[in-house]
Structure 1
Amino acid sequence: MKPGMLAAALFFTAISGVAMAQPAVPGPLAADEAPIYGAQLMTQQERLEYRDRMRAARTLEEREQLRVQHHEQMQARAKERGATLPELPPVRGGMGPGGGQGPGMPKR
């Protein structure tokens, strides 16, 4: 192999190793990975059961009712234990204002 080709091969090998060492950019969380409000106050079994109930809910209204009920339970549990939780649970749902990829390229 010619010295120039060897140097190029070593360079590209080094570059590909650096690229692979970069941490992956986290994407959207799946429903099973989404944070649960008050999870730090729950057992693993309670978290699994909550996710099962959310999966079993048939409508958005049912899921919202479960969320509200869960929020109230976690607020009460935090108060019993002398802990504090954020007043509002994490925002759920689709993209709100400003979400998405935008209008795209203007037509010419």
Structure 2
Amino acid sequence: MNTARFITALLLAAGAGSVLAQPAGPGPCMAASGASAPAAGCGGGGPHARWGKDFTPGWPMMTPEERQAHRERLASFKTYEDCKAYVQQHHDEMAARAKERGRPVPAAPRRDACAPLKAKPSK
């Protein structure tokens, strides 16, 4: 009987170990099945792009549809000036929303989301 228990325990331990060794699925920055964009904060549109509550002023006051439209709009710009104008307009809109709701005005973004569009200096 002790041998049977030992073998059963060994098989259970081996099975549990192989289950635990499996990856838990896509990483946090992989889009969920059927999602059209990466998870919040994971970025897109370039190696340094980020969005989400820690990067986008007013994120909590936006609907999921507005967040998606904001990401798509940022990714669509071809010039730095157009991008900066949109970012300023977006910040102004979020500041007005915050004021209407009695919330603090969101701080300016911590980084320049339009920086990848800046013209590179010629050598």
TM-score category, normalised to shorter length: 0.5 to 0.7
Shift of 1:48: 3.1
1:18 aligned onto 2:17 = no
TM-score by length of 2: 0.50
1:58 aligned onto 2:60 = no
Superposition pairs of residues 67-106 of structure 1, within 5 angstroms: 67-92=87-112
TM-score by length of 1: 0.55
Aligned partners of 1:41 and 1:74 also within 8 Å:
yes
Shift of 1:60: 3.5
**Compared CA separation, residues 7 and 39, structure 1 to 2 (3 A):** same
**Compared CA separation, residues 92 and 13, structure 1 to 2 (3 A):** farther
Aligned partners of 1:37 and 1:74 also within 8 Å:
yes
The runs of 5 or more residues in structure 2 that have no matched partner are 30-40, 114-123
C-alpha RMSD of matched pairs (Å): 3.7
The runs of 5 or more residues in structure 1 that have no matched partner are 94-108
Q: Please give the per-residue CA displacement for 1:73-108, whole angstroms capped at 9, x wherever unaligned.
A: 211210121012442224355xxxxxxxxxxxxxxx
Identity of aligned residues (%): 31
Shift of 1:25: 5.4
Give the residue type in structure 1 aligned to 2:42. L
1:29 aligned onto 2:42 = yes
* Partner SS, residue 34 of structure 1: coil
**Compared CA separation, residues 78 and 25, structure 1 to 2 (3 A):** same
**2:108 and 2:78 mapped to 1: Cα distance?**
24
